[in-house]
Amino acid sequence: MEEKKINEKESLAIIAEMIDRTKNRLRIGDGNMLLLWGYTSLAVTALTLSVLIITQHQASNWLWFLIWLIGGSVSARICRRRDCESSVRTYIDNITSGLWSLVGSCAILITAICLIMMLAGGRDCWVAMLVFGLLIVGIAVAIQGIIIKEKCLVAGGSVGIMCGAIVMCFAIGGISISIWWAFPLIAVSFISMLIVPGHILNHKARKQCLKN
């Protein structure tokens, strides 16, 4: 493209062409963040519940913090690298980043509340964290799917919302949450909310990149 005079039709063509080139497209590795949190949450849940079954000791619940430790440190590194590499920031990037910052802040707040309640002698206070992990994260995943028009995220998020709602109803109804049905429920949620959409997004991005 050069610096030259144009006619009115060419003006319109340039505007249309540039809008098309800046359309939000998937980038390779877009699904990595979902995969990181999905696999970490799944592995830590399996580990924590196994230790709980074996030891029967409530202190095993401290292992849940491994999700934060691993997920938080690795995702901070991914974000930093992404910011350095990224050459364009769209309005959708802003909304998505704001959405997940909000979810992250809520998670920190709920973790702190649960911790205080546990130290004050509260029982089963970590159920709130479980409801958060499924319901709130499910809503955020579904919203992101609506924003970037990805059906797999909307569907996966909806599964998470449903599972979160089940756990919430049981907790409010005073029915104790058994590991034997809770773990499969959590596993199904994390797989459908984070792991499956993460792989789908990465696959789509790779395909799009090959096409271009």
Residues of the shown chain interacting with another protein in the complex, contacts defined by CB under 8 A? 1-6, 8-12, 14-15, 17-19, 21-23, 84, 87-91, 93-94
CB of 13 to another protein, least distance (A): 10
> Which lies closer to another protein via its Cβ, residue 19 or residue 119?
19
How far is CA 166 from each of CA 89, 145, 169, 201, rounded to the nearest angstrom? Answer: 38, 22, 5, 28
Nearest-approach distance from CB 77 to another protein, in angstroms? 15
Three-state secondary structure of 119-184: HCCCCCCCHHHHHHHHHHHHHHHHHHHHHHCCHHHHHHHHHHHHHHHHHHHHHHCCCCCCHHHHHH
**Checking phi first, is residue 28 left (phi over 0); if not, alpha (psi -120 to 50) or beta?**
beta
Of the pair 7, 176, the CB lying nearest another protein is at: 7
Sign of CA dihedral 65, 69, 72, 74: negative
C-beta of 18: minimal distance to another protein in Å?
Answer: 4
**Scanning the structure block, which residue is given the tokens 């144009």?**
6
Q: What is the smallest separation between the CB atom of 68 and another protein, expressed in angstroms?
A: 29
